[in-house]
Chains A and B, each alone.
Chain A
Amino acid sequence: MAKEAVMAFIQCSGLMKTYTVGGEEVKALDNVSLTIEKGDFIAICGPSGSGKSTLANVVGGLDQPDEGSVVVDGIDLAKAKDKALSDYRNKQIGYVFQSFNLQSHETALENVISPLTVAGVGKKGERRDRGMKALERMGLADRAKHKPTQLSGGQRQRVAIARALVNDPQLIIADEPTGNLDSSRGADVINELKRLNAEGITLIIITHDVNVASQAKRIIEIKDGKIYEKAGAK
């Protein structure tokens, strides 16, 4: 196991997480250790219930492990309080979900700037400008005032990516981002994400699509809470 933790962007070690499902204990993470470097593009693969989402959630500060540590910039997320975790999610992480998870009553722009609103960043005008910039990057500037229901699936996912981008995060975690899209739109979304990774943003994609996984620099397979690293594209 790599021990150059000082330099690593994210250092996970000895992660344990157990769920009780229907009276039965399921090990979602079983002594998982993982180092993520800046600029990495990691695909996490594995069957349903194998613990891929749990790993991503723990790395993304949305969930905390029962045991072990997740050290980012010298802070252990496993022990962090809500404020620090929320701040981490807000500033360092951008989430992209399979089901887009856009607020249906808000416009595309409002959705995009929600991380800024929630964190109380800047004035309304400044947030708007930053939101519009993120939408422009996704080629959706003309859809800013549309509600999610007025957008196609691909557009919705690109709005979600714009939202993930708006706070200039270091890491984007995409949980089955193409799961609800047809293959061509799915490919578009993956290309967008790859482009962002090329710009220096660390990228973790959870997928069971082999085509998607094969494009990653690192492929991590997870089975019964244990990880196995495979060679990636690079």
Chain B
Amino acid sequence: MSFLDQFRTAWRNLSRQKLRTSLTIFAIVIGAVSVTVMLSLVTSTKGFLVSSAEQIGMDRSVIVTGLPGLGYRESQWNWPDGSGKRMDADSLALVEKIENVGSATLYINGGMFESFSFEGRDITMKNIQTESYTPNGTVKHILVAGDELSSSTNGSGLLISSNIAKDLGYKGNEQALIGKEILLRYRKDFGPPEAKKSDEAGKIIGVTSSDGQRLMSADLDWAIAMQTLTWTQKGPNGQTVTNTDSQIDRNGFGSIWVSVNDKKNVDAVMGEVKQLGFGAAAGKEEIDNQAVAFTIIGAILGGIGGIALLVAAVGVINTMVMATLERTREIGIMRAVGATKKTIRRLFRVEAGLLGFIGGLYGVIISFGFAFGLNQILNKQLSDSGIANRNLVSISPQVALVVLLITTLIGMLAGSLPARRAANMDPVEALRYE
């Protein structure tokens, strides 16, 4: 029997039992959709994260801290409390001398401010971090509007993250913030109570994409000035004593950020840094960790989809076993007119494969629809964090093809047992079957 005839016969047999066929296909569709969407979601999100990380040079970045053993994230938020090696201009000079270091900067991240005066309004926000560094290209951001800090914009140029922009009332209109002035108000409990803490005026020059943190980025020199508090006191003899306090002076900076000239030299630079007695954490490890996490999530979700497909396969077996029973006499007739066991076996296998194929086809089509819907939701969330529409979930034609192939194979495999059963029927018995 030619393949075309087998296909025709299989198609016809499936159409004879529309409801049962549809239900069996439905189960396969569920499996196919879950596998396709889950795998695509995970791989595209992973790809997106990795490419965003590379865009800001995270794959080439090393954070040097005074305390060894800190991870990348901890290093980022490391606050100098006097323990460990002191991070200052001397340590920076040491690090800069290391071979393959492209650029480096002292870095500190702290929470000095809690409210703003902006366009005549007072706005209080919780958990605002201010990072500062020398704008020499070492520290980079994904920008929603405006530009990075640069040595030419010196002074009080300020980057704010998109969620601060949102709090300021400029969601989706971040560009309009560029060039505006904003007054930063110190946290009341920052520094000694008697210290004078007048507002700092900054100029917004860029809006960065937010990862949830309310983050401002400022030039290091400005930050040093902001950290330095002065106040006067009556001395024991009635004289006025001027006090100065700077946490940076006392404890040094939080870390040194290094941009290595090439990704492949990151390990070598890390080694050198550690030899100097510093701690070092590489951005690429963070990227790898995230990638591994996504691979694991992908495997788990894919596995769930796989289970759905397995259940669907049981459905196919069930359907085909029913079909062999119903068609016993037909099988007998086919055998009487000369069908070989092989022909019968193939016929049932093609039919089961067709179930799988149709299920896979619908599954893939629905997955594309799903991906479209999911992208609408994700795009909205991304735009909340200031990232332009990205269509995170993209189903590649390869994935679609593979899913189609897998469902077809699963169908054929599930059909094997009933097919063998049908083929091995005694034709004489089958013809007698009522």
Contacts and interface: CB of A to CB of B under 8 A. Distances in A.
Contacts of B127: none
A95 interface: yes
Contacts of B426: 63
Contact of A118 (B12, B334, B341): B334
B419 to A, nearest CB: 15
Contacts of B197: none
A66 interface: no
A115 B338 contact: yes
B337 A95 contact: yes
A90 B431 contact: no
Given A101-B431, A105-B12, A114 B337 contact: yes
A103 B5 contact: no
A103 B9 CA distance: 12
Q: Which of B12, B334, B338, B339 has the most A CB atoms < 10 Å from its CB?
A: B338
Given A87-B338, A90-B338, A117 B1 contact: yes
Q: Which of B335, B337, B427 has the most A CB atoms < 10 Å from its CB?
A: B337
Contacts of A91: 338
Given A57-B428, A62-B428, A118-B343, A86 B1 contact: no
A217 B46 CA distance: 84
B334 A114 contact: yes
Interface in A40-61: 53, 57
Interface string A81-113: 011001101110001010001110100000000
B356 to A, nearest CB: 23
Given A62-B427, A97-B431, A118 B2 contact: no
Contacts of B166: none
Contacts of B334: 114, 118
Interface string B1-26: 11001000100100010000000000
A90 B337 CA distance: 5
B339 A86 contact: yes
Contacts of A82: 340-342
A119 interface: yes
A101 B333 contact: yes
A125 interface: no
Consensus secondary structure, chain A interface = helix
Interface string B325-345: 000011011111111111100
A22 interface: no
A97 B329 CA distance: 12
Interface in A127-174: 163, 167
Consensus secondary structure, chain B interface = helix
Given A101-B329, A103-B330, A105-B16, A115 B428 contact: no
Contact of A103 (B2, B333, B431): B333
A101 B336 contact: yes
Interface residues of B, number: 24
A63 B428 contact: yes
Given A105-B16, A120-B5, A86 B431 contact: no
B337 A120 contact: no
Nearest to A90: B338
Contacts of B5: 117, 120
B338 A83 contact: no
Given A57-B428, A82-B341, A103-B330, A62 B336 contact: yes
A147 to B, nearest CB: 13
Contacts of A105: 12, 16
Contacts of A53: 428
A81 to B, nearest CB: 9
Interface in B403-434: 426-428, 431
Nearest to A167: B338
A89 B16 CA distance: 28
Contact of B1 (A89, A101, A119): A119
A167 B336 CA distance: 13
Given A89-B337, A90-B337, A118 B1 contact: yes
Interface string B341-381: 11100000000000000000000000000000000000000
Contacts of B342: 82-83
Given A86-B340, A103-B330, A62 B335 contact: yes
Contacts of A87: 338, 340
Interface string B65-81: 00000000000000000
A119 B338 contact: yes
A101 B333 CA distance: 7
B381 to A, nearest CB: 53
22 contacts: A53-B428, A57-B428, A62-B428, A63-B426, A63-B428, A82-B340, A83-B342, A87-B338, A89-B337, A91-B338, A101-B333, A101-B336, A105-B12, A114-B333, A117-B9, A118-B1, A118-B338, A118-B339, A118-B343, A119-B1, A119-B338, A120-B1
Interface of B: 1-2, 5, 9, 12, 16, 329-330, 332-343, 426-428, 431
Nearest first, the 9 closest Cβ-Cβ pairs linking A and B are A90-B338, A86-B340, A115-B337, A118-B339, A89-B338, A120-B2, A101-B333, A82-B341, A95-B336
Given A62-B335, A86-B340, A90-B338, 14 more contacts: A82-B342, A86-B339, A86-B341, A87-B340, A90-B339, A95-B336, A101-B431, A102-B333, A103-B330, A105-B12, A114-B337, A117-B1, A118-B339, A163-B337
